[in-house]
A and B are shown apart, each in its own frame.
Chain A
Amino acid sequence: MIPHLLSFLTFHPLVGSVVIALLPNSQKEAFKWIAVFFCACQVVVSAVVYYFFSTQTADFQMVEKADWITLSMGSLGTVSIDFILGVDGISLPLIMLSSVVMMVGVFSSFSIAKREKAYYSLYLLLTTSIMGCFLALDFFLFFLFFEFMLLPMYFLIGLWGGPRREYASIKFFLYTLVGSLLILIVMIGLYISVIDPYESELAKTMVHTFDLRLMTDGRNYLPDSILTPSGEITLLGVPSRMLAFWLLFIGFAIKLPIVPLHTWLPDAHVEAPTPVSVVLAGVLLKIGGYGLLRIAYPIFPDAAAEYAFTLAILGVISIVYGGFNALAQNDLKKMIAYSSVSHMGFVVLGIASLTAEGLNGAVYQMVSHGILSSLLFLLVGVLYDRTHNRLIDNYRGLISYMPLYTIITGITFFASLGLPGFSGFIGELFTLMGGFQSDRLPVWLTALGTLGIILAAAYFLWTFQRMFFGKPWAKNPTELPFLSDLNRLEKWMLIPLVLMSFALGIFPGWLFSLSDKTVSHLLKIFE
């Protein structure tokens, strides 16, 4: 075992970020390769984490803990914020996914041609905050990373985006900020309710804590505190714990996103440059689902169980509403953005089911969607790089100009619409199966959710047919000479992702074996 492995995983891109910031502006090539180096390094380190990870236990592994901020507040007790990192079966798949997506994103960034220094520096900063988010076991630390993601994202969309980038980035920023505020409120509420029993014993005073692990244990709550598990405290007539759960849920739902809190997503995607879209869809959305699994559900299981039905409805609405909207799009990127909304709805349904199938399926679906949405946005980028145009109606018969591009798009579309053999199928199968098995959810709800599968077939195939089949044609014939097939860099980005989706689809047991223990441990509190 290597000490401080997780810290290294989290913080080493920060070094790259600083190095890039310090280099003179003229070193444009160096920025790229430094970023590539640090992202590659992250892939390797996350592989090492996987190597040392044991699937035999549900506990957090490779935990690092250090006192960070300790303030004595006299009679009010002691403020204690710890630096805790750890990995378990829910975060490990997402960590590996992030490192891969960030790596692919760097290569895709090669087409960025202005202010490279700032770009790559921010990109690496983003990488650190994402990893931190998935690894932090202290709520305060988590929140810090969570908020810190906003900053680079805001600039990456706002500075390198399309024509309406300012509107999109401010919308993204405000939406997410509102979510963060709600999370912040709950975090404070939890903080004043929970004490650290060991530290309190030692210090002979009440030591409050942000430790997420302690927050899951009802015994650590002060008896009369606002979020006490006895559930007697009400705010505005609502039990405080229910309220707190909903605040957390909304906070994460914005990120996920869940209809009707999703409208920032299509705008952000349309304006964001390709690599930022890739990171956004591939990784950032997953933090919403991760937040539910790591924070909202283990800390407020009572509320999660009580509102399972409502949450599942929200998931199903996202699936269906997102699907219908995807069907109506003429902008390829927007179509894919809405398909993301639809596919992330499966995650919510799976989580809400509170079954082993559903929760494992949700984790799986997050990984699968991370790979597939990255692919989809990269594919849009391929066309957009050539023509600066991505309207579906503007093209026909692209297969004649770009056969390999067509094949890979076809495979990705089929994988995304849930064809067996690819990861999308397993994710949808198990989230739906979970919904179906759950005794908390009515059967018709899941049946309604399956509508999303038909819609996905409809919008993906309709798009595929319109753009790639038929007689070769482009609305603007001057674009035709630019429609060259995939170049080497693009192949190197796309094909490995296709293979990953394929491998996961053929051997889903591998991913399930990572998450299964942790998930069954989590489910125990719901029995």
Chain B
Amino acid sequence: MNSSLLFLIPLLPLIGFIINGIGFRHVPKSLAGVIGSAASLGAFAISILAWNAFEGQPQVVKLFDWISIGQLTIPFAFQIDQLSLLMLMVVTGVGSLIHIYSMGYMHHDEGFGKFFAFLNLFLFFMLLLVMGSNYVIMFIGWEGVGLCSYLLIGFWNKVTNYNNAARKAFIMNRIGDLGFLLGIFMIIQTFGSVEYLEVFAKAANGSFSINDTVIVTITALLFVGAMGKSAQIPLYTWLPDAMAGPTPVSALIHAATMVTAGIYMVIRSNVLYSLAPATLGVVGGIGLLTAVVAASIGLYQNDIKKVLAYSTVSQLGYMFLALGVGAYTSAMFHVMTHAFFKALLFLGAGSVIHAMSDEQDIRNMGGLRKHLPVTFWTFFVATLAISGIFPLSGFFSKDEILAHVFEHNQIMWGIGLFTSMMTAFYMFRLLFVTFFGEFRGTHDQKHHLHESPATMTIPLIILAVLSAAGGLLNIPHVLGGGESLAHFMAPLFELSKQVNPDLFEGHLEHSTEYILMGVSVGAAVLSILFAYNLFMGKKVVPAADKDVTGFPKVLQNKYYVDEFYEAVFVNPMRKLSDLLYSFGEFLIDLVVNGTGRLVQFLSGRLRLLQTGETGFYVFAMVLGILVILAWNLLLK
């Protein structure tokens, strides 16, 4: 394949953005969606070509030297290797499905063309992020997807809450980005380059010992960036709010692709992270904590998208947990399966919301199974997958993570297992309450219930197939598989293995693996049964907000973290800015104007001497002569 074709991958969505963006209101609706989707499909097609042409060695394709200053050169170049190819497939593949879905979902929206323009722009930046051959290009893509996330969360910009959510997302991400930026500065200072291949080669040349302070600092700073983008504690609260955006956006940006950028970044920098087990410890710890906390909040949410949002935060935590124990491949595996089933869940939720005339509260749903059969069945597949039921994709990826965690630390494994039980519970709670039982909505809504059009259901079906079969990518040896993903990705971690072989050691007995699998599936089934008993047997409907008390109320209010941030960070910032303006500026001007007044005052006094009377001047002159005489004669 001609390597210049690679540039078309991000270029096509960019062209789509330009056509739909500049031509907004002029491009007819039917065309806008087609252009947007075609751009995405085109990028997908070329990605497949690139996949087929890939020969196993990382390939860097340089466009031009972007910046050259002093000793530093930053080329504008793309790197094609196992990692970027996998990300390309996920981003363009899932992205294309969501574009097609959006043609149906956004059909009635007046901002249809604008929506596709933004979606294409997002793809462009996301592709830049995963294809760039150095940290600066990654950062450009990183900020760019943040912009698109902002634009799409606040897509319906007449609603103040949505705008608040958009702003919160951008600013919170910015905080993370600063960490990333400082990390890049430090990389430049340490390695004199930002190119991945150069940096990693220098990092692995033996001059850095394990847990070298510099490397630990760099990786920690980069991880701050990942915390922001991938919604980890403490920078996670923007993601649930981000559900204000249209549902396809939640599926594409806030579930399948953008939020996994943090994981991509850590895997990309695996050499550095392997050199810094101390940072990996933090990564794993934060990941686990996020997974538990978010899952527990998910137990009591009643907004269909909020449940999925917390589930996303929790699953991202899972991925960081995997990274934390050095299981890079497992994290990437989970990124992929999660992209399938979570995109499917969101698109299914979108189909429900579409049918329910924009209702999102599951307490007002129920019994939708009969009216939305395709949506129901695909949603069911995804729910099974995320709950880790054999043999769906989620089972394989989650089990792999848990197995690695078990090798590493059994307490963490226990907490991880507990999290996965909560996951199975809240997902089946969602499924049962939404699709089973009696319909609880208004008469009007009932009247309008309908299955979504084919543009929406076909992507659902494709994603359902992927969610079901995605596990085939990496079937473990113990189940007679070839671990093909692990083999494919192995070259990425060669340097890591070289610098820190301990991280990759540890091997479980087959019998242990069987037990672990059994335990995790058993646990999931147990919580599904529990949910079944509660919501199908006893036909419980989640209580109205005012009837929730005690710890569930704390959970429903997300541990009051938003209120805490508001009180501890946001308000003091506001107060400080008001104080600096009212008091600081006042003080400075007091000095400035005071100086002016003083000069005026003194000059006013001096002016009194200028009387214009000859007599006074003669008197002053005589006085002066006397003083000089006295000085010379008496005092000298």
Query: Using a CB–CB distance below 8 Å, which chain A residues touch chain B?
Result: 171, 174-175, 260, 263, 266, 321, 324-325, 327-329, 355-357, 360, 397, 399, 414, 419-421, 425-426, 429-430, 432-433, 436-437, 446-447, 450-451, 453-454, 457-458, 461-462, 465, 468-471, 508-509, 512-513, 516, 520
Contact = CB atoms under 8 A, between A and B. Distances in A.
Closest 6 CB pairs of A and B: A356-B70, A328-B581, A420-B140, A327-B577, A436-B185, A328-B577
B67 A512 contact: yes
9 contacts: A356-B69, A356-B70, A397-B158, A399-B157, A421-B140, A432-B185, A458-B573, A470-B159, A513-B68
Nearest to B68: A509
A469 B69 contact: no
A101 B577 CA distance: 31
Contacts of B140: 420-421
Interface residues of B, number: 49
Interface string B234-246: 0000000000000
Interface in B291-310: none
Contacts of A356: 69-71
Given A357-B70, A360-B70, 4 more contacts: A328-B580, A329-B581, A436-B185, A446-B185
B220 to A, nearest CB: 13
B139 A420 contact: yes
Interface in B588-636: 588-589, 592, 596
B60 to A, nearest CB: 19
A509 B577 contact: no
A261 to B, nearest CB: 9
A516 B163 contact: no
Interface of B: 65-72, 139-140, 143-144, 147, 150, 154, 157-160, 163-164, 166-167, 170-171, 174-175, 177-178, 181-182, 185-186, 188-189, 573-574, 576-578, 580-582, 584-585, 588-589, 592, 596
Contacts of A357: 69-70, 72
A508 B581 contact: no
A315 to B, nearest CB: 16
A328 B581 CA distance: 7
A462 B166 CA distance: 11
A175 B595 CA distance: 11
Given A321-B580, A414-B147, A436 B186 contact: yes
A437 B189 contact: yes
A364 to B, nearest CB: 10
B465 to A, nearest CB: 37
A321 B174 contact: no
Contact of A512 (B68, B580, B588): B68
A324 B576 contact: yes
A397 B156 CA distance: 12
B588 A360 contact: no
Nearest to B587: A260
A360 B69 contact: yes
Query: Which of A328, A421, A425, A465 has the most chain B CB within a 10 Å cutoff?
Result: A328
Contacts of B170: 457, 461
A174 B596 contact: yes
A436 B588 CA distance: 30
A470 B157 contact: yes
A224 B168 CA distance: 62
Contacts of B150: 461
A171 B573 CA distance: 30
Query: Which of B67, B166, B588 has the most chain A CB within a 10 Å cutoff?
Result: B67
Contacts of B164: 465
Given A420-B139, A421-B144, A512-B68, A433 B185 contact: yes
Contacts of B147: 414, 419
B255 to A, nearest CB: 24
B139 A433 contact: no
Contact of A469 (B154, B175, B177, B582): B154
A321 B158 CA distance: 32
B158 A470 contact: yes
A431 B166 CA distance: 29
B189 A509 contact: no
A324 B69 CA distance: 32
A521 to B, nearest CB: 12
Contacts of A462: 167
Nearest to A264: B592
A162 B143 CA distance: 39
B437 to A, nearest CB: 38
B182 A436 contact: yes
B67 A509 contact: yes
B584 A321 contact: yes
B171 A325 contact: no
A174 B573 CA distance: 33
Contact of B574 (A327, A414, A432, A457): A327
Nearest to B184: A433
Nearest to B182: A447
Contacts of B171: 454, 457-458, 461
Given A360-B69, A470-B160, A465 B167 contact: yes
B271 to A, nearest CB: 22
Contacts of B188: 433, 437
B174 A454 contact: yes
B185 to A, nearest CB: 4
Contacts of B588: 260, 263
A325 B581 contact: yes
A429 to B, nearest CB: 8
A197 to B, nearest CB: 33
A513 to B, nearest CB: 8
A453 B69 contact: no
Nearest to B128: A420
A414 to B, nearest CB: 7
A446 B188 CA distance: 15
Nearest to A429: B181
Contacts of A421: 140, 144
Contact of B144 (A420, A426, A450, A458): A420
A391 B188 CA distance: 43
A484 B323 CA distance: 54
Given A324-B576, A397-B158, A420-B143, A430 B69 contact: yes
A520 B66 contact: no
Nearest to B73: A509
Contacts of B139: 420
A171 B492 CA distance: 63
Contact of A263 (B154, B175, B576, B585): B585
A520 B592 CA distance: 39
Nearest to A433: B185
B178 A453 contact: yes
A520 B576 CA distance: 40
